[in-house]
Structure 1
Amino acid sequence: MSKENYDTKLSLLESLPQKDVKAPTTPVDTTLQEAENLFVWAQEDKIILESKGLDWETYTEDLPVRVGACRYAQAVWMKERYSQEEALKTWREESPKAYEFRNDLLADLRFAFRKRSDLLARVRAIADGEGDADMIQDLMDISVLGKANTPELEKVKYDLSNFDIAGQKSDHLAELLAKANGATLDNSKAKDVRDRAFTHLKEALDEIRDTGKYAFRKDPERYKGYISRYKRR
């Protein structure tokens, strides 16, 4: 059902002005449960809440749909975030080895091409630069250069399979770094939609709670149902 609610709301969520979209300031799972509790609590007070101006259909009847959409958006975001965090962890484990492998390959090429000034110039060009993206590109450039100049490498009995490994590592690391960057930049589409779904849910929560707190300001037994237990702690 949450997926259906999400699909129903997606176009509306995407149309929300960016300036109105706010990241959650309370735990999402807690907010979702409080919204479900509020929906049940408010049923008894429908006539009174409507008499105070609450748009029952827009906010109260729609509350379960907003809850479902937010619940699904949160699940999608958490799944992506977990994947990104795993990628970041893997990158931190693999990248030092990749740098070492790149440096070893450059040393191998310098030795194999030591009598070829033209090829040494290309090795120097590859070695020039720094950073993760540069290292990834270096591996691919080394793979191409090595495969194109096998006679010199065969003279020193070099294992040419290293160039296949370099190319494969370059592709793998490029994909891994892209995923890992998602965890550090924190700007994914999934997070944006989650924030929009939370904003949409909070709009209804605020309307119902504000109306309920006003309507029952002199009735503690009904008033308490319109207060966030999380914020009271």
Structure 2
Amino acid sequence: MASFQPTPIQIEDLQAISIESFKRPAMPVSTYLQEANDLYVWSQDDREKLLRFDLSPTIFDELVLGINLLSYYQGEWTKEQGLVNPTVEAFAAKKQEARELQQHVVASLRFAFRRHPSLLQKLSLSVRRTPYSAWYQSLNDLAVLGEAESDLLLSIGFNLDELGVLRQLATELPEWHALASKQVAPSKELRDRAYCYLKKRVDDLRTCGKYVFREDPSRRVGYVSQFMRRKSQAQKRSRSNQDR
């Protein structure tokens, strides 16, 4: 598997896979790969029987290909994550600056408005931190609110220049966000597509195996995700403890 290299045709096939409905893996990718490999090994003894139940005759070869593709692009993406991207780094720095300034401005406004319930209510409505679009608007709204009540801020020694900085950040951050979003590692997208490719084969094989061996627990167990089984058991124990 270490010497695997995707062919141009395999890359084209991956790029044709839609990831509009892509959801993050429910387990670490390394765990998913191990389970997919275990599933392949387990299913070999049942190959002939499984293929009689409307499974694609190429599913086992496709499963191996999916394991190789996902393993390869997961490794490539991991390597790319270690590289510092100046645009992403700059966006992160701007976000940190804005969060710290927002916290400072909100604290100052809250203190300045402490005897004005209606202004405190306006402040409460202006403070948003997620999603990004609402946060950017919140930064601007806070600057506007502060400028409208500048006398109260001046009375507590607040530097009004900080409102200008906040307004500027509200304008700059969406631009930095858009630039940073374009810097997504190309291997990340291919990793997600490879996951979608493999997941379809894993799901098909698991579904078929659980049906075929529904009355044979000793074989059926190999078609059940052990990670998800343990996770489900842990959640049940947690709910049981909460009910006590």
Q: Which protein has the larger Cα radius of gyration, Structure 1 or Structure 2? A: 1
Q: Conserved in 1, the CA contact under 8 Å of 2:4 and 2:72?
A: no
Q: Tell me the distance in 1 between the aligned counterparts of 2:89 and 2:82.
A: 10
CA, structure 1 residues 187+36, in 2 after alignment: closer, same or farther (shift >3 Å)? same
| Residue of structure 2 equivalent to 1:192 | 189
Q: Tell me the distance in 1 between the aligned counterparts of 2:209 and 2:30.
A: 22
Q: Tell me the distance in 1 between the aligned counterparts of 2:60 and 2:209.
A: 12
Q: CA deviation at 1:53?
A: 1.3
| Residue of structure 2 equivalent to 1:47 | 48
Count of paired positions: 157
Q: Conserved in 1, the CA contact under 8 Å of 2:6 and 2:69?
A: yes
| Residue of structure 2 equivalent to 1:37 | 38
Q: CA deviation digits over 1:102-122, x for unaligned, max 9? A: xxxxxxxxxxxxxxxxxxxxx
- Among 229, 237, 244, the residue aligned to 1:232: 229
| Residue of structure 2 equivalent to 1:88 | 89
Q: Conserved in 2, the CA contact under 8 Å of 1:2 and 1:69?
A: no
CA, structure 1 residues 216+84, in 2 after alignment: closer, same or farther (shift >3 Å)? farther
Q: CA deviation at 1:84?
A: 4.0
| Residue of structure 1 equivalent to 2:16 | 15
- Counterpart amino acid of residue 217 in structure 1: R
CA, structure 1 residues 34+9, in 2 after alignment: closer, same or farther (shift >3 Å)? same
Q: CA deviation at 1:85?
A: 7.7
Q: Conserved in 1, the CA contact under 8 Å of 2:209 and 2:223?
A: yes
Q: Tell me the distance in 2 between the aligned counterparts of 1:80 and 1:65.
A: 23
Following superposition of structure 1 onto structure 2, how do residues 1-233 of structure 1 map, counting pairs within 5 Å? 1=1, 4-7=4-7, 9-57=10-58, 59-84=59-84, 88=89, 92=93, 130=168, 181=180, 187-233=184-230
Q: CA deviation digits over 1:145-173, x for unaligned, max 9? A: xxxxxxxxxxxxxxxxxxxxxxxxxxxxx
Q: Tell me the distance in 2 between the aligned counterparts of 1:3 and 1:88.
A: 33
Q: Conserved in 1, the CA contact under 8 Å of 2:19 and 2:192?
A: no
- Counterpart amino acid of residue 65 in structure 2: V
Q: CA deviation at 1:17?
A: 2.4
CA, structure 1 residues 208+186, in 2 after alignment: closer, same or farther (shift >3 Å)? farther
Q: CA deviation at 1:198?
A: 0.3
Q: Tell me the distance in 2 between the aligned counterparts of 1:196 and 1:27.
A: 16
Q: CA deviation at 1:192?
A: 1.2
- Counterpart amino acid of residue 75 in structure 1: G
- Please report the RMSD computed on the Cα atoms of aligned residues, expressed in angstroms: 3.7
Find the residue that maps to 1:25 and give its secondary structure.
coil
Q: CA deviation at 1:14?
A: 0.1
Q: Tell me the distance in 1 between the aligned counterparts of 2:85 and 2:45.
A: 45
Q: CA deviation digits over 1:55-89, x for unaligned, max 9? A: 131x1122111101101111111122232489739
Q: CA deviation at 1:48?
A: 1.1
CA, structure 1 residues 85+217, in 2 after alignment: closer, same or farther (shift >3 Å)? farther
Q: How high is the TM-score relative to the length of structure 2? A: 0.54
Structure 1 residue runs of 5 or longer lacking an equivalent are 97-128, 135-176
Q: How high is the TM-score relative to the length of structure 1? A: 0.56
Find the residue that maps to 2:43 and give its secondary structure.
helix
Q: Tell me the distance in 1 between the aligned counterparts of 2:84 and 2:26.
A: 22
Q: Which has the higher helix share?
A: 1
